Amino acid sequence: MDDHQPDRADGADIAEQRLSDTDQTLSNRDQTLSDHDQQSSDLEQAASDWNSAHGGDREAHRRASLARAATTNERSEGSGLRDRTARERDVVARRRDQRAALRDQRAQAQDAEAAHLDGQEDLSDRHTLRIDHLRARSRAARIRAASDRAQAARDREQAALDRQQAARDRERAAHELECAGTDDLTGARRRGVGLEELENEINRARRDHKPLVAAYVDVDGLKALNDERGHAAGDALLRDVADRLRAHMRPYDLLVRMGGDEFLCAFPTSSPEVKQRFAAFLKDLNGSAGASVSVGFSELRDGDLAHEFVSRADEDLLARRNGALGSPAHRLRR
């Protein structure tokens, strides 16, 4: 056997370089995933900080929603990348095991050759050196094979961790997506999702030939309360108003947070019933210290677009606030 022949199981061949390149790729991807995690954390914190600093600001509400949506996208992308990385780690682990098997085969062949030479009656110095050389290479091959198998085991362990983290990312992203339509402060539907659901309510009302009433609710003095007593007090007021609204609504009535201090309610029922519900709500709200709201109403008309339906309720609110129509629950503007 030619001592100068390259060992095809050693790291000087193409397979070794491919494994080395893959290791670097996976290492770079680990950093990318770490960056994804940090970006998600930063986006979530930014959304929380923005809400805390601008609780009564409609633009703040929109920006916080966008930040949370970006967080969900980051998690979804990260879970897919982790799954891909896990699959590639498994491939690398198989290649390492294959290379370890080749090293063992090479070691066995070298041991067999050394044993054959050692069994000869007259050993020359050259044969003795050859035997020592073969056995040294055999030991080295087995050590490297063991190292390959250990690295393959680590690759599989890391692949399993990647899959676990990917599953957690998907679960969290799914939860965030489910909650994306819900305002985390008040439990009302977020503006974008809520308006889509309002479209569904409009279509349902027309299909079933049933009435639909909108109520636009503005929490009075929220900015002043935030300035005077802090945003925690303002948040408490918003939660209180939303809770009291919800207490006088049925589970299938729609409650949407339109902005920092504005809510939209949609009732698939008659005007008299809505008036009764809001009369009870306003009476209930009077028992809450510092709570005051302005309310405007509209009924769905033939040919109404959603924004027209909502705008009339908003206009009615302004008119009532200016005293043109008396108390908020006085009557519905058609």
Is the distance from CB of 264 to CB of 242 less than 8 angstroms? no
Question: 29, 46, 32: which is closest to 74 by C-alpha?
Answer: 32
pLDDT digits (tens, 9 = 90+) for 60-117: 555 666 666 667 777 777 788 888 888 888 888 898 899 899 999 999 999 999 898 8
Portions of the chain given CATH number 3.30.70.270: 191-321
pLDDT digits (tens, 9 = 90+) for 265-306: 999 999 889 989 999 998 888 766 557 899 999 999 999 999
Looking up tokens 């802090």, which residue turns up? 230
Q: Percentage of residues in the chain with pLDDT exceeding 70?
A: 75
Averaged pLDDT for residues 146-167: 89
Domain 14-179: give its CATH code: 1.20.1050
Portions of the chain given CATH number 1.20.1050: 14-179
Secondary structure class of 12 (helix, strand, coil): coil
Whole-number Å distance between alpha carbons of 60 and 46: 11
pLDDT digits (tens, 9 = 90+) for 241-257: 999 999 999 989 999 99
> Does CATH number 3.30.70.270 belong to domain 191-321?
yes
Confidence (pLDDT) at 140: 93
Assessment of whether the complete model's pTM goes beyond 0.85: no
